[in-house]
Amino acid sequence: MKFQKYINQHTNQITLVTAILIGVGLLGKVLNSDMIYTVSFIAASIISAVPIILRAISALRFKTISIELLVSIAVIGAFAIGEYNESAIVTFLFLFGTFLEDKTLAKTRHSIKDLTEMAPTTALVVDDDGETEETDVDFVDVDDVVLVKAGGQIPVDGEIVDGSGHINEASITGESKLVTKNVGDQVFSGTMLDNGTVKVRATKVGDDTTFGKIVELVEDAQDTKSPAEKFIDKFATYYTPAVLIIALIVGLVTKDFRLAITVLVLGCPGALVIGAPVSNVAGIGNGAKNGVLIKGGEVMNTFANVDTLVFDKTGTLTEGKTAVTQLKDYSKNQLGLTIAAAIEKQSDHPLAQAVVKFSADHKIGFDKVEVTDADTIKGRGVKATADGQSVLIGNLRLMNDEEIALTDQQKSDLEAIQSQGSSTVIVAFDGRVQTILGISDVIRQGVKESLATLKSLGIKKTVMLTGDNLQTADAVADQIGIDEVHAELLPEQKVEYVKKYQEQGHKVAFVGDGINDSPSLVTADIGIAMGSGTDVAVETSDVVLMSSGFNELIHAYGLSKKTVMNTKENIFIAIATVAALLIGLILGFIYMASGMFVHEASILVVIFNAMRLINYRPKVAKLDPDQLSVREYDLSLKQ
């Protein structure tokens, strides 16, 4: 055991010594010294064969006929018949090929290795006296307060209780832009504080943090094999012994021992065995680097065949927050908006807060407006006094009750806003309507263009399943180009629709973010969770979009298709190489040493082919400036 461990630790040095001995042997050939030539190649054969034979023996202990066994038998056979140069060159090429494979495979795993190395290891814990003590991150408990200084790494998931700063969340979202964080904001383990100083109260620690779960999911994903990998593993179980039997038959029939051992070398399935796993690892690594967690090769393969995307609306197609998205102002100097914000500031209703936020974002000065006698009228709105004048803020029913008539233009504007699925807030004083606001859940930026891109990649149908009312759902669908809409659904009804599409022969991916989406995420062929969603949604999904962006969805879908195609390319290269070698052998062009060279070269080819996935980036369509789903800061305050 110690001897084998020593040999394994010094295999690279053995490969180097073998190369030197082969060089000396070739020099002896040039100098016409048979002794130098023979002794050098004998020594090279023996030294280089040791690690290969030891690996073959280890595999046999587990009842596995490995590639090393085929090479060992071939090398021993060549040595026995005096073909020392063949045995030395074959073993050297095998060892050198393994060395190059390890180096290049390490590059395919580079993204995943970087991810695990980004995990925080220490934390500055603040005690009750305000003193800090550096401790191992594993010893930090929930509710502990940790201090993070500029340039430091946040060691826990938690809430900022003191200070502020700009945080780089690339390790979580894949986006390297800085995000401003203040007291009360959530922060994540593994992210970097670019500037400022903050104190964070821990809500999740260790493996329970978002970053910890990312690392765990990526590591598990590497071990989950695609259908191609499972088939090749099963195929190799029978293929390798078959090569051994074929070589034996060739030797018995032809009486050509040299031909038989050459068949052993040429039949090695190295590129075939490694082709699928290396593509899988490279694809998963690329996803992890770009904020997309794909949970294994089988998920990758299934996702590549998806033709129907089913979306939840709130929090998925939309941002899940109400905001002012339309404004019609008939007053002077935005007086209607100013007074509305001053009155709504006293309410915690979501529509009221949307008006206040919109006004604050657009620097509407409403703090000096004096509000008195604000009365809430159930199902209608608010009646208040602002700066001495009576003000009505509410829906059309309130205006009708108070006999406030809308002009034809105002009626047209109101209908246009409502037709887009927005809730409306009407502001009236001086006996007439001054302002109409449209408030709705903000559609995610770029959704329309993203859906078009997904269709260009192979998606045939897009569907929205929502518990919201049909008018709102239709309005959102019209703006972003959804093919089919089903509204006012309970979670179990969403599952029924997913099953219906599956029964029609579609491969279905469901995209959602909430606990109520979990049944559909599990039922669909592929469940895709927004990283900003609930833990339940993230845990039950197959793919996680860490920054909840649709660009990530495009990346995940395109990457899955590229990875599956890359796997097929590698399998073709491997099979074509073996076929070409056997044809070359029959025609007399290929011999044992040259066969091993081609064999090792084919392994490097499939690895380099897989490495192309590391830098894969899909083409993303430019935003449509005319898209109706404008964001808050795109709104004009002009009439």
Query: What DSSP line would sit under 144-184, residue for residue?
Result: -EEEE-TTPBP-SEEEEEEEEEEEE-HHHHS--SEEEE-TT
CA 439 to CA 290: how far, in whole Å? Answer: 33
268 within 8 A of 67, measured Cβ to Cβ:
yes
**For residues 506 and 304, is the Cβ–Cβ distance under 8 A?**
no
Which residue in the block uniquely carries the two structure tokens 């208040």?
A: 384
d(CA 537, CA 518): 5
Burial class (CB in 10 A: 0-12, 13-18, 19+), 418: middle
Q: Is residue 445 classed as helix, strand or coil in its secondary structure?
A: coil
What is the set of active-site residues?
Answer: 312
**What is the torsional sign of CA 282, 283, 285, 290?**
positive
Using only C-alpha atoms, the chain has a radius of gyration, in whole angstroms, of 34
Residues 488, 514: contact at Cβ < 8 Å?
Answer: no
CA distance 137 to 469: 47
How far is C-alpha 331 from the chain's CA centre?
A: 49
- Residue 561 has which token pair? 């298709």
Q: What is the C-alpha separation between 4 and 271, in angstroms, rounded?
A: 26
CB 395 within 8 A of CB 418: no
Count the Cβ atoms, other than its own, within 10 Å of residue 82: 11
Q: What are phi and psi of 193, to 5 degrees?
A: -85, 105
- Decide: 325 and 422 in contact? Cβ < 8 Å: yes
Contact (Cβ atoms closer than 8 angstroms) between residue 473 and residue 464: yes
**Is 189 within 8 Å of 155 (Cβ atoms)?**
yes
CB neighbour burial string for 439-473, b if at least 16 within 10 angstroms, e if fewer: bbbbbbbbbbbbbebbeeeebebbbbbbbbeeebb
Is beta strand 308-311 parallel, antiparallel or unpaired with respect to 508-512? parallel
DSSP of 55-73: HHHHHHHTT---HHHHHHH
* Structure tokens given for 269: 């399935």
